[in-house]
Every structure is written in structure tokens, then in C-alpha cells.
Amino acid sequence: MTELHVAAIDPDRLSTIRRNGHDESGNALFPFPAEGWEPLRCCLALAEVDASIVLISYAPFIVGSPWAETGPIFIHTDGCPGYGDSDRLPEKLRTGPRVLKTYRADGSLDYADITVVAEGQDIEATLLDLLGRPAVATVHVRALAAQCFTYAVTRR
């Protein structure tokens, strides 16, 4: 059975964004109090009510690529411990509705294996199936409606 490795956003990238006061696209950071539903990509949890968060523009790929999508994501304003259990899917962000976008080892999108997971369905079995396929090296877990990046999963 394939073991999963879950990767939140690189804490060093987030530290640079926070230190610079703008995201990698040049958008200034504007902190605001969370309502409690916002999925945080820094620690892979839902924001606590009134926590200070910011919305940034983020691209999971750090090299130029036709598949280098940029989208909005929420993070803690002042940092956090990050996601500490890379061997487990995040409890609050492991069910659908999700789109699982599959990528080959060279970073190209694997169109044939992109999968939609229905609302309320746990994504673990689908991730294990996808990552067991020879062509799939990485899966980006994304929100279905907005298609924003949530986290990446690879084989351990």
C-alpha cells in the first residue's frame, strides 16, 4: 500500500512573503479577522474565528511552466507552526468536494487522471489509487468550485 506524504506551502516561502509585506505577485498583505470557515494553507486547518489572516496570490510551482496556475489562498498573518503531520491527511481538509489534479514527474499535468471527489467523500482512497498509477508523481488537492490549491500529496 502506498504511503502518503502531505505538503503544505513551504514555510520559507511564506516567511519571505510575510517579511516583504506582499505576495509573490506583488499584492500587498491586508490582514483581516477570520470568520472561521477559511481553509489555511500554511497549517492545513480551518481558521479560528477572529484569527488574523490574509488572502494571498499563490502558485505551487516555483519554476516557469504552462501548468503554473496562480490562485487565492488564506494564510495566518503572523505565521504559525505549519502542518506538523506530513504522514496524514489534514482532518478538516480531507473530504470533497475536491478536484485532484495529477502531475507527472516532469511537472506536466496528467490530464487522464484528474479526478473529482464528491462532497463529503474522503479523498484518501482516491489519492492512494492515483499515486499507485505509474504516470502520477504528485497530486494537487484543490477546492472544486474555485480550483484554489490546498496542498500537495506524493508517495512516501
What are the domain boundaries of the chain?
9-76, 86-155
CA distance linking residue 83 with residue 61, whole number of Å: 19
Whole-prediction pTM: 0.93
Determine the pLDDT at residue 132. Answer: 94
Three-class SS of residue 6? strand
Rounded mean pLDDT of 127-153? 94
Please compute, for residue 71, the number of CA atoms within 13 A of its CA located in the half-sphere on the CB side. 17
Q: State the CB neighbour count (10 A cutoff) for residue 5.
A: 14
CA distance linking residue 126 with residue 139, whole number of Å: 10
Rounded mean pLDDT of 17-34? 97
pLDDT band at 18 (very low <50, low <70, confident <90, very high): very high
Three-class SS of residue 112? helix
Determine the pLDDT at residue 1. Answer: 40
Three-class SS of residue 148? coil
Give the chain's count of helices (H) and strands (E): 2, 10
Tens digit of each residue's pLDDT (9 = 90 or more) over 86-116:
999 999 999 999 999 999 999 999 999 999 9
Tens digit of each residue's pLDDT (9 = 90 or more) over 111-130:
999 999 999 999 999 999 99
Determine the pLDDT at residue 91. Answer: 95
Q: State the CB neighbour count (10 A cutoff) for residue 45.
A: 19
Q: Is the pLDDT of residue 2 over 80?
A: no
Helices (H), 1-151: 11-20, 124-131
Three-class SS of residue 116? strand
